[in-house]
Amino acid sequence: MDKRIKLHHGDGGKYMSKLIHELFYKYFDNSILLSNNDSAVFETIGESLAFTTDSYIIKPLFFPGGDIGKLAVCGTANDLAVAGAKPLYLSVGFIIEEGFLYEELERIVQSMSQACKEIGIKVITGDTKVVEKGSMDGIFINTSGIGLIENDYSSKKVAPGDHIIMTGGIAEHGAIIALKRHGIKAREKFISDCGFIYNITEKLVPFYNGIKLMKDPTRGGIATALNEIAERVQLGIHVLEHKIPLRKDVSALCRLLGIDPLYLACEGRAILVVEPSQSEKIIKCIRSCENGRDASIIGNFTCKEDNSVTLETPIGGERLLYPLDTPMLPRIC
Amino acid sequence: MDESKIIRRIMNDMKVFNVGELNFMEVCGTHTYAVSHSGIRKMIPSNITLLSGPGCPVCVTDESQIDAALEMINKHDVILVTFGDMVRVKGTNESLLDQMDKRENIIVTCSPLESLEIARKELDKEVVFFAVGFETTAPLIALAVKGAYENKLNNLSFLICLKLMPPILEKILAVKQKKVDGIICPGHVAAVKGATYFSFISKKYGIPAVISGFEALDIALGLYYLTKQHTSKDPAQFRNLYKLCVNERGNKFSEQLIKEVFDIETSKWRGIGMIEDSALRLADKYSYFDALKRFNIKINKSLVPQKCECKDVLLGNILPHQCNLFRVVCNPEEPKGPCMVSGEGACSIYYRYGGDD
């Protein structure tokens, strides 16, 4: 019979301890975690730290290019990376539905462990809860992350004319989720962009004086992220649609489903705001990374008082780029 | 020459025609969307105004039909399957989306045929497909109805709210004082019904009309043709510019499906009222699958007073931003009318992509 997660795996007793030792300690193996204290104790060297948290509730749990575990590590690490920080430590909270397959949990934990090793981030504390069958759907994961600030751009002022760089193809994660949710079988191989940004931001250290802001366009896609940036810096943004990296198959899939790729999530990309004089050098540096080879300057800041984001279309027309306001649903015809 | 250069040249050539102020109507919601989304709205010469027409399926679906769908899920505990846009539009009081927060029995789909699969899996439940759309979606719905009939899926039924294009166009064009100088006909409907389906526009109402595709270049060519006709002695010409998808007689297979599964009936259009022979209902052979009959629900025929001017937007009487509520109290988050709800609604398209500045 399939081994399944039971309520006693979260009751604080010996079964929980067994689960922690056999699964979590095995895969997240590091001395801080294994010291088995109520709190993780660690030393820092820098003066400024970045701290973030995110909960991962996704369907399907496994998708081409990743799974909820990889997403939970990359997502939080990326939030740290775009804050100009080197991701150091993670906490992980699992909320698991009674009856969840042990084998699937192991797959998720294994994938998290692999992702952590990739950029040297450590899971140093965690928590497990098991809830009654039917009161949730499968597994939810929360990760909080601490990073060491390497580029504090909080005091840098974004100015009209500053360039906006997109590090890679948009909508690749959102498209695969839409594809799975609508049960469409596609011949093309769609793969999520779920992955780290830190390998890129780490390489950009020599250019940090020219980087004024970074953001990862997750839920709501680049349209929503650009609107948030415009609002935050109180400037307008002008984007050139044909410069936005978008894979042809992803574009075709979006047209088929009647959804706009500009609103679909990326899970391994970043938007960078850079000094125009340095943008070419920065682009070259990003392109030298495997996950940055499609990087492109997609637009610039304008003086528009209403902080609107406008999009120049490939035919030379123009329209507003609005933030996501209602849930995206496929159109009728 | 690349596409953008061709379009720019077409737009410049249009400016040379000495034709004065012209109002063209793009009937189909997908055209309204494409005009804004491609950015072509900003490139059109200033003497040309594009009016949006009645071709957004959820915008013209009457409140009473949404109320009927709500009654089915609330009183009869059916699994309701429908298209995405439909769940957002309010009936008299609430929308399906309001119910989705509380219930699990509303399923959004891209294909009516999925309702067959759902009915097969949920044999102890009643499944209803809430079918909205025009001649475009009708063949697919017909295929699903036939599938239910042939496979004896007796737990599946259909709430049919399919409407027809010519009667509403006749209603718009018959108003003498309204100035509509040309029509961009719905390309998808023409692909099903054939180009000749819309030739009455030019013959009967003496204005040029084109069948156009949905790419920016298709639309630019359509607008060019309509404008150019006004320089000729007889502007009332009809032209199919979407030959890639549309032939003269339409898609025979689809046409046959529609004929077999549906009859024509008089129907109420949201905010507009009853229009004779403007909708489809299930033919007698398939009436067993009529959800209204199965659950004994009567449709309220009286017109619900409207809170906004969506009706006038749909009839091309005003542009979205000429409605007093537009952007002031009506937006996609708190829509006052259906045109602000649907992705193909003119108000939501103007709100999101601009065009009112």
Query: pLDDT tens for residues B281-318?
Result: 999 999 999 999 999 999 887 877 777 889 999 999 99
Q: Which of A180-189, B186-195, B227-236 has the lowest mean pLDDT?
A: A180-189
Which residue in this structure is represented by tokens 């979260």?
Answer: A10
A261 pLDDT more than 60: yes
Q: What is the pLDDT of residue A329?
A: 57
Cα of B190 to nearest chain A Cα, Å: 13
Asked if A327 contacts B333 with a C-beta cutoff of 8 angstroms, the reply is: no
Asked if A333's CB is within 8 angstroms of B133's CB, the reply is yes
Res. A156 pLDDT band, cuts 50 70 90 = confident
Q: Which residue has the higher pLDDT, A42 or B79?
A: B79
> Which chain B residues contact residue A319 at CB under 8 A?
36-37, 39, 41-42, 353-354
Please give the residue of chain A at the shortest CA–CA distance from B29.
A333
A·B CB contacts under 8 A = 92
Please give the residue of chain B at the shortest CA–CA distance from A223.
B352
pLDDT digits (tens, 9 = 90+) for A269-317: 999 999 999 999 999 999 999 999 999 999 999 998 889 999 999 999 9
The predicted model scores a pTM of 0.85
Q: What is the pLDDT of residue A181?
A: 77
pLDDT digits (tens, 9 = 90+) for B73-106: 999 999 999 998 888 888 998 999 888 878 889 9
Asked if B135 contacts B258 with a C-beta cutoff of 8 angstroms, the reply is: yes
Mean pLDDT to the nearest integer, B25-42: 94
Res. A258 pLDDT band, cuts 50 70 90 = confident
Residue A322 near chain B (CB below 8 Å):
yes
Asked if B42's CB is within 8 angstroms of A318's CB, the reply is yes
Q: What is the pLDDT of residue A324?
A: 83
> Which chain A residues contact residue B38 at CB under 8 A?
313, 315, 317
Residue A3's alpha-carbon distances to A24, A243, A308, in angstroms, are 17, 50, 54
Q: Which of A164-173, A236-245, B79-88 has the lowest mean pLDDT?
A: B79-88
> Which chain A residues contact residue B354 at CB under 8 A?
310, 318-320
Asked if A257's CB is within 8 angstroms of B136's CB, the reply is no
Q: What is the pLDDT of residue B30?
A: 92
Burial letters A54-93, b for 16+ CB under 10 A, else e: bebebeebebebbbbbbbbbbbbbbbbbbbbbbbbbbbbb
Res. A331 pLDDT band, cuts 50 70 90 = low
Res. B357 pLDDT band, cuts 50 70 90 = low
Res. A330 pLDDT band, cuts 50 70 90 = low
Q: What is the mean pLDDT of chain A?
A: 91
Instruction: Please state, for a pLDDT cut of 90, what percent of chain A lies above it.
Output: 72
Cα of A95 to nearest chain B Cα, Å: 22
pLDDT digits (tens, 9 = 90+) for A132-146: 999 999 999 999 999
Q: What is the mean pLDDT of chain B?
A: 93
Name the E strands within chain A.
49-56, 62-63, 66-67, 85-97, 122-131, 139-149, 163-166, 211-215, 236-240, 271-274, 296-302, 309-312, 318-320
> Which chain B residues contact residue A315 at CB under 8 A?
3-4, 7-8, 38-40, 43, 216-217
Asked if B332's CB is within 8 angstroms of A317's CB, the reply is no
Mean pLDDT to the nearest integer, A140-155: 90
Residue A331 near chain B (CB below 8 Å):
yes
> Which chain A residues contact residue B84 at CB under 8 A?
258, 329-332
Res. A7 pLDDT band, cuts 50 70 90 = confident
Please give the residue of chain A at the shortest CA–CA distance from B131.
A332
| Chain B contacts in chain A segment 163-182 (CB below 8 A) | 182
- Cis, peptide link before residue A60, omega less than 30° from 0: yes
Res. A188 pLDDT band, cuts 50 70 90 = confident
Mean pLDDT to the nearest integer, B225-241: 95
Residue A319 tokens read as 């329209």
Cα of B152 to nearest chain A Cα, Å: 25
Asked if B216's CB is within 8 angstroms of A315's CB, the reply is yes
